[in-house]
Amino acid sequence: MRIFTSRPALRWIAPLAFVVALSGTALVATTATAERKLPPRSAEELLADVQRARVDGLSGTVIQRANLGIPEIPGAGGRDSSEFGSLVSGTHTLRVRYSAPDKARLAVLGTYGETDLIYNGKDLWLWSSRDQAATHRTVTPGSDNPVDRQPGEVPRTPEEAAKQVLAALQPTTTVTTDSAVTVAGRPAYELVLDPNDDATLIGQVRLAIDGDTRMPLRVQIFGADDALVFEVGYDSVTFTRPDDREFGFKAPPGTKVTEGEPMGPRTPDKKSQEQARKEAQQAHDQVKIVGSGWSTVAVSKVPDDSPNAKGAPELDGYLNQLPRVSGDWGSGRLLAGTAFSVVLTDDGRIAIGAVKPATLYKALG
């Protein structure tokens, strides 16, 4: 089952890029003896297994935990844990359903309600029980995949996180395997990545892989101090196709229904394709990469027309609560997270990496 592609996603439906695997639990020990010992497999074999894994359907409950050290955005106070935007911090429970090739459902459960994304062939729904509001879009044949994930978002599923982990493998990583772990009651392999890099804030990454389906069951990221900074994995899961009625949606009485713009096939002409290629190349050329492996730092200029450019009201309040820092490189604001650091300079540059702030300052110099 492959739900994710490289095409840009519409921001409001990006959270539906999910369903293939999620939810682990702190109720189960990180490493526990499984009832059935799986035959050994090398790291290379497991990596190939993950790339080839496909299932026709699944139903599961997911638990996601994020302790990334991100301050609360001003104006977001009171945000219910059922909102997709809340997934960047705290602990969250999600329900997932998938039936190949074109049915998927994700529900984020909160204290005061839930938010659902339902994709069923030609229909795509976003529904909030708390707001009593629903948005519907019609998906026509040939459309871009409506469950594409927005680049740069926090992973919501083990498959999303696994792809990022696999892409991060470098010669500076020690990779080991274990075949005696259990996740959601299922015997699993565990791929353990240890960065051989004292400059990174990442201490270890663990990827649990189902012993039968080879689907990712859980991804855990630990900081340099061995504290868990991010986890997403199954708490329970069955790899069977759900009943079609699981993907039906009828707006409850009193729900405000909005009809969104239809999602039709996009066939850009040669001029549009060439323009897109030039813009992509320009964006690539504006990024300076400093270092390598786990301690890589990316430095770029914030576009003047970006919604995240300095001066945007939604960003100003957030920046004002971050500490000011300065050095030979200039001055700006620092976000020092548990697994990454970001510096936004007063002259419009941004530096980010899974490193301590001092490494960013050096890259900016």
Whole-number pLDDT of residue 11: 33
DSSP letter assigned to residue 144:
P
One-letter amino acid for residue 208 of the chain: A
Whole-number pLDDT of residue 35: 52
Highest-pLDDT range among 88-92, 277-281, 309-313, 361-365:
361-365
Whole-number pLDDT of residue 9: 33
Helix (H) or strand (E) holding 43: helix 43-52
| pLDDT surpassing 80 at residue 41 | yes
Helix (H) or strand (E) holding 163: helix 158-167
Average pLDDT over residues 15-35: 34
pLDDT per residue over 55-66, tens digit each? 999 999 999 998
- 175 with 192: CB under 8 angstroms? yes
- 9 with 137: CB under 8 angstroms? no
Compare 283 and 87 and report the one with higher pLDDT.
283
pLDDT confidence bin for 253, thresholds 50/70/90: very high
Closest CA to 182 of 227, 228, 229, 237: 237
Which range has the worst mean pLDDT, 16-25, 33-42, 262-271?
A: 16-25
One-letter amino acid for residue 355 of the chain: V
Q: Determine the 3-state secondary structure of 358 from DSSP.
A: helix
Burial class (CB in 10 A: 0-12, 13-18, 19+), 126: buried
Whole-number pLDDT of residue 166: 61
pLDDT confidence bin for 103, thresholds 50/70/90: very high
Q: Within 13 Å, how many C-alpha atoms sit on residue 186's CB side?
A: 26
| pLDDT surpassing 80 at residue 28 | no
Which range has the worst mean pLDDT, 60-64, 87-91, 230-234?
A: 87-91
pLDDT per residue over 141-159, tens digit each? 666 556 554 545 566 667 6
Compare 49 and 72 and report the one with higher pLDDT.
49
| pLDDT surpassing 70 at residue 244 | yes
Closest CA to 64 of 108, 31, 99: 108
> In terms of residues, how long is the chain?
365
pLDDT confidence bin for 70, thresholds 50/70/90: confident
| pLDDT surpassing 50 at residue 10 | no
Helix (H) or strand (E) holding 283: helix 270-285
Which range has the worst mean pLDDT, 149-153, 170-174, 238-242?
A: 149-153
Q: Determine the 3-state secondary structure of 215 from DSSP.
A: coil
| pLDDT surpassing 80 at residue 161 | no
pLDDT per residue over 186-211, tens digit each? 999 999 999 989 899 999 999 999 99
Whole-number pLDDT of residue 33: 40
Domain ranges of the chain: 11-259, 270-364
**Domain 11-259: which CATH class?**
mainly beta
124 - beta bridge partners?
119, 137
Instruction: Give the whole-angstrom CA distance, residue 188 versus residue 177.
Output: 11
Long-range contacts at 105-110 (CB < 8 A, ≥ 24 apart): 105/19, 105/246, 105/247, 106/15, 106/16, 106/18, 106/19, 108/15, 108/81, 108/82, 108/83, 108/84, 109/81, 109/82, 110/80, 110/81, 110/82, 110/83, 110/86
For residue 74, say if its preceding peptide bond is cis, omega within 30 degrees of 0. Answer: no
Q: What is the pTM of this model?
A: 0.75
pLDDT per residue over 307-349, tens digit each? 444 455 556 666 788 999 999 999 999 999 999 999 999 999 9
Burial class (CB in 10 A: 0-12, 13-18, 19+), 50: buried
The pair of structure tokens assigned to 22 is: 């999620």
200 Cβ neighbours under 8 A, 6+ residues apart: 224, 293, 294, 295, 354, 355
| pLDDT surpassing 70 at residue 30 | no
Phi, psi angles (nearest 5°) of residue 43: -60, -40
Q: State the Cα torsion 51-10-62-246 to the nearest 10°.
A: -100
